[in-house]
């Protein structure tokens, strides 16, 4: 190992040690603060209040986020709607997202350069440029993939629990409650099974209490969830409210439709299982089985049959 590589290793060790110690002193529990918090008789903070470490990270990564954060049109952009669909309604979510994009864009090529300097590998300029561009693009779009995955999982949970929420709403409406009271009651009951669904209905109730119209609150619900079935329900409730039709009958028909769609989606996922198992069977299981079954036969052919055919004793 050359002296340059030893210097690189020392620099990496000092950098990692410094970052680890900074994180330790920043986020380690303070016994005095913990004791004062136990003695404090004030009510606990809200469940969605940002913790101290998130605010600290936002302060540290704020300059990085400014490099890729849109300066204009953020409030009406499609990316803000995607954050709403993912359930990230905090003001710090865009800063963390764009700071991660910027950090990964520069960190992955930097780590590759560092690894190449330590290992002593030499690449052609064209290959090196292609690798750097690929790593930078991968780091830039990796937070987008994480966000899309979170949105997909959240929409799936809302879709799976939405028919049950409509059934509860139908029961409440048929029992004599108004639609606003039924939404509030269903939000309380659904929070036990699906916190995401209960939180969305609770937000609708808060908007109604704040003075928004029912149509506006329901439109905001469809915009926040991003689920097509919720948009259909909102359109149906708005039409029923305008024309004075029975809300209970419309909810019952819509819940039956959603339950049928949920069953069909489950059957579709079950029908895809044999096709998904085909590739692991072909590339992983079948070669192992052939090796175990035909291995002794090939060994016998190599030891007995081939020398006999070639005339060797």
pLDDT of residue 43: 41
Which has the closest alpha carbon to 178: 253, 259, 240, 223? 240
- Evaluate whether 161 touches 185 at the Cβ level (below 8 Å): no
Beta-carbon contacts of residue 84 (< 8 Å; ≥ 6 apart): 223, 224, 226
Rounded Cα distance, 82 and 45, in Å: 28
pTM for the whole structure: 0.66
pLDDT of residue 47: 39
pLDDT of residue 128: 81
Per-residue pLDDT of the chain (313 residues; tens, 9 = 90+): 566 667 767 777 777 777 777 666 655 555 555 555 555 544 444 434 445 655 666 565 556 556 556 666 555 677 788 888 888 887 777 778 888 888 888 888 888 887 777 777 777 778 888 888 898 888 888 888 888 999 999 988 888 888 888 888 888 888 888 888 888 888 888 888 888 888 888 888 888 888 888 888 888 888 888 888 888 888 888 888 788 778 888 888 888 888 888 888 889 888 888 888 888 888 888 888 888 888 888 888 778 777 776 765 5
- Count CA within 13 A, CB hemisphere, residue 134: 7
Q: What is the 3-state secondary structure (H, E, C) of 283-307?
A: HHHHHHHHHHHHHHHHHHHHHHHHH
pLDDT of residue 173: 86
pLDDT of residue 44: 44
Domains of the chain by residue range: 154-265
- Evaluate whether 247 touches 179 at the Cβ level (below 8 Å): yes
Question: Per-residue b/e over 283-300, b at no fewer than 16 CB within 10 Å?
Answer: eeeeeeeeeeeeeeeeee
């Amino acid at each position: 190992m050359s002296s340059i590589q030893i210097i690189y290793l020392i620099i990496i060790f000092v950098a990692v040690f410094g970052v680890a110690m900074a994180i330790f002193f920043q986020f380690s529990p303070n016994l005095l603060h913990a004791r004062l918090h136990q003695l404090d008789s004030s009510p606990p903070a809200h469940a969605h209040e940002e913790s101290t470490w998130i605010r600290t990270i936002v302060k540290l990564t704020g300059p990085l986020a400014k490099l890729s954060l849109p300066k204009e049109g953020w409030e009406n952009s499609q990316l803000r709607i995607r954050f709403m669909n993912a359930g990230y309604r905090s003001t710090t979510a865009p800063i963390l997202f764009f700071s991660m994009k910027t950090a990964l864009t520069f960190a992955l090529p930097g780590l590759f350069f560092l690894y190449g300097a330590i290992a002593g590998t030499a690449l052609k300029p064209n290959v090196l440029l292609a690798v750097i561009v690929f790593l930078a693009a991968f780091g830039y779009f990796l937070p987008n993939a994480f966000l899309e995955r979170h949105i997909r999982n959240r929409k799936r949970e809302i879709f799976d629990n939405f028919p049950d929420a409509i059934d509860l709403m139908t029961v409440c409406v048929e029992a004599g409650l108004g639609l606003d009271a039924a939404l509030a009651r269903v939000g309380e009951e659904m929070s036990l099974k699906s916190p995401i669904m209960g939180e969305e209905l609770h937000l609708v109730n808060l908007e109604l209490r704040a003075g928004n119209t029912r149509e506006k609150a329901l439109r905001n619900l469809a915009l926040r969830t991003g689920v097509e079935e919720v948009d259909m329900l909102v359109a149906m409730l708005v039409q029923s409210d305008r024309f004075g039709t029975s809300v209970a009958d419309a909810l019952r028909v819509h819940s039956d439709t959603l339950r049928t769609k949920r069953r069909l989606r489950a059957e579709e996922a079950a029908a895809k299982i044999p096709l998904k198992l085909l590739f692991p069977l072909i590339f992983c299981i079948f070669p192992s089985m052939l090796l175990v079954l035909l291995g002794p036969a090939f060994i016998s052919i190599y030891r007995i049959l081939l020398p006999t055919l070639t005339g060797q004793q």
